[in-house]
């Protein structure tokens, strides 16, 4: 018998439904709150900003399974099912008895898992008569995914890209433009909030907070135009469960079940996507899998944050979200894993962390790149700086398994490749990367001030 390296589901087994963990959670997440009225929010309260179906998904706590529209599933076939891969090379490099598997979401044409939610978001907006979407992007992963999804379903897209990224990451900008999106460096003169900032400070290099403000402003002031977000929210995590649902069937093909499931953690969507379908068996009491969310130690909302109501953005435009947070004014260090630079965790993950279903693990920047290079050299794929955090956590657990002499089965999500992030590897290889240490005092300033 040949050793199998990859486990691939046939196309007709790509999931037909997403898994909605909120319907099965014993303690439901606390509701979003309107900061003005202090009242809880209902689906209708989101209609101004998001498509109606996405708004309903956002607050749905009753339906365990939600149908994937056939048109979306057709587009998933461009790259799904994604391979489940046994990392024999990495196991050998670590000399570990652990069985390491990874779900390879880097095979999507945009290079990451973000397309899993970009496609349904574009689709629902399209069928509800929306013609234009707006969004913001920092490093560019989300912007590229939504650009392609909008092209597929015939929507116009305007992406506000943080100005310093616009200038320093021209490749991701070109990708968005190749797929037909309009990319605007933020702050821009196209919105009131952008003009205000530029008038006061013409040299301002932009921030995600400003880009969000501009995208929301444009959406609310344009007819048939809505806004789209690539992480944090419940409907985004819902769409990402296609990752874990496939992985569950693929682990069956491998005749194993994970003892540990690992994902990197920014706003929570890729971690939720790989975890929730396995976590439901923990909720039911059938399994005792550990779920590890690997966050940068420079942005440690899970391991050092506080569970409370907080805004999702710096400017305070969003509803109040029940979350583990470092405070919405927390400014993360300038690490290369741009997708993990977010102050809080989505409401589902926050509740599950509070209830002991999942664990946070903090990873230093240099450790994350050491892990990424080891993976690249043993498995070929150069991972995204974000995914390197999941790999570093996997390596820790695999080495622990070696110490303990147990053949643990570990599954992690390779959320994306790093081919458009090689500048960060360059810095690592030339010894120019640093770790960022946060004192308790620094964190408490933003975290403990409501």
User: Which of 206, 242, 425, 447 is the binder for a second copy (CB under 8 A)?
Assistant: 425
Query: How many whole angstroms separate alpha carbon 444 and alpha carbon 203?
Result: 30
Q: Which helix (H) or strand (E) holds 262?
A: strand 260-264
Q: Is 379 in the site for a second copy (CB under 8 A)?
A: yes
- Under the binding rule (CB under 8 A), the answer on residue 381 touching a second copy is yes
Residue 125, φ and ψ in degrees, nearest 5? -60, -45
Span interacting with a second copy, options 40-48, 105-113, 238-246, 339-347, rule CB under 8 A: 105-113
From residue 242, alpha-carbon distances to 19, 81, 114, 262 in Å are 8, 9, 12, 16
Q: To the nearest whole angstrom, how small is the minimum distance from the Cβ of residue 376 to a second copy?
A: 5
User: Tokens for 250?
Assistant: 């693929």
CA 55/CA 116 separation, integer angstroms: 17
Angle at 40 between CA 34 and CA 42, to 5 degrees: 100
> Of 221-240, which residues contact a second copy (CB under 8 A)?
none
Contact 337, 264 (CB under 8 A): yes
φ, ψ dihedrals at 446, nearest 5°:
-90, -35
Residue closer to a second copy (CB basis): 104 or 394: 104
Based on the number of CB atoms within 10 Å of its own CB, is 339 exposed (0-12), middle (13-18) or buried (19 or more)? buried
Regarding 77 and contact with a second copy (CB under 8 A), the answer is yes
Phi then psi for 385, rounded to 5 degrees?
Answer: -55, -35
3-state secondary structure string across 192-255? HHHHHHHHHCCCCCCCHHHHHHHHHHHHHCCCCEEECCCCCCHHHHHHHHHHHHHHHHHHHHCC
Q: Sketch the per residue contact string, 5 through 34, with a second copy: x for CB under 8 A, - otherwise.
A: xx-x--xx----------------------
Is residue 79 close enough to count as binding a second copy by CB under 8 A?
Answer: yes
* 448 scored as a contact of a second copy (CB under 8 A): no
Other C-beta atoms within 10 Å of 70: how many? Answer: 8
> Applying CB under 8 A, does 412 fall inside the site for a second copy?
no
Least distance from a second copy to the Cβ atom of residue 382, Å: 6
User: Which residue of 361, 371, 420, 443 would you call a contact of a second copy, by CB under 8 A?
Assistant: 420
Least distance CB 175 / a second copy (angstroms)? 6
Interaction of residue 271 with a second copy, rule CB under 8 A: no
179 touches a second copy by CB under 8 A: yes
Number of residues located near a second copy, criterion CB under 8 A: 41
Q: How far is the CB of 232 from a second copy (least distance, A)?
A: 25
User: Interaction with a second copy in 130-149: which residues (CB under 8 A)?
Assistant: 148
Binding piece for a second copy, criterion CB under 8 A, among 104-112, 293-301, 345-353, 390-398: 104-112
Of 17-25, 106-114, 282-290, 352-360, the segment contacting a second copy by CB under 8 A is 106-114
| Chain residues that interact with a second copy, rule: CB under 8 A | 2-6, 8, 11-12, 74, 77-79, 107-111, 148, 151, 170-171, 174-175, 177-180, 373, 376-377, 379-382, 419-420, 422-423, 425-426, 429
């Amino acid at each position: 018998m040949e050793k199998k390296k990859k486990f691939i589901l046939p196309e007709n087994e790509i999931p037909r439904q997403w898994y909605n963990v909120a319907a099965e959670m014993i303690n439901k997440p606390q509701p979003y709150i309107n900061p003005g009225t202090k009242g809880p929010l209902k689906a209708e309260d989101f209609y101004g900003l998001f498509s109606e179906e996405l708004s309903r998904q956002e607050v749905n706590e009753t339906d365990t399974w939600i149908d994937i529209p056939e048109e979306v599933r057709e587009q998933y076939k461009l790259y799904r099912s994604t391979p489940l891969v046994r990392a024999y090379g990495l196991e050998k490099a670590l000399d570990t008895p652990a069985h390491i598997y990874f779900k390879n979401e880097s095979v999507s044409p945009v290079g990451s898992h973000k397309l899993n939610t970009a496609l349904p978001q574009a689709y629902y907006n399209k069928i509800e008569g929306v013609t234009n979407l707006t969004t913001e992007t920092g490093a560019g992963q989300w912007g590229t995914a939504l650009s392609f999804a909008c092209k597929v379903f015939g929507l116009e897209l305007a992406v506000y890209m943080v100005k310093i990224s616009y200038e320093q990451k021209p490749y991701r900008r070109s990708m968005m433009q190749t797929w037909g999106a309009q990319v605007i460096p933020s702050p821009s003169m196209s919105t009131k909030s952008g003009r205000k900032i530029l008038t006061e400070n013409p040299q301002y290099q932009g921030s995600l907070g400003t880009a969000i403000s501009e995208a929301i402003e444009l959406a609310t002031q344009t007819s048939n135009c809505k806004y789209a977000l690539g992480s944090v929210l419940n409907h985004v995590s819902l769409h990402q469960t296609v990752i874990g649902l496939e992985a569950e069937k693929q682990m069956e093909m491998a005749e194993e079940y994970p003892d540990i499931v690992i994902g990197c953690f920014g706003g929570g969507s890729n971690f939720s996507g790989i975890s929730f379908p396995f976590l439901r068996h923990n909720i039911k009491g059938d399994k005792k899998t550990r779920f590890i969310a690997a966050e940068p130690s420079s942005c440690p909302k899970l391991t050092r944050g506080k569970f409370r109501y907080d805004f999702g953005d710096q400017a305070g435009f969003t509803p109040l979200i029940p979350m583990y947070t470092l405070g919405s004014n927390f400014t993360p260090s300038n690490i290369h894993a741009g997708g993990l630079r977010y102050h809080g965790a989505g409401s589902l993950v926050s509740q599950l962390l509070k209830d002991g279903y999942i664990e946070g693990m903090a990873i230093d920047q240099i450790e994350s790149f050491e892990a990424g290079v080891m993976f690249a050299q043993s498995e070929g794929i150069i991972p995204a700086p974000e995914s390197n955090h999941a790999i570093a956590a996997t390596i820790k657990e695999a080495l622990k398994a070696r110490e303990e002499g147990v053949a643990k089965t570990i599954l992690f999500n390779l959320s994306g490749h790093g081919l458009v992030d090689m500048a960060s590897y360059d810095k690592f290889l030339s010894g120019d990367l640093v770790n960022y240490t946060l004192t308790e005092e620094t964190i408490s300033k933003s975290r403990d001030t409501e």
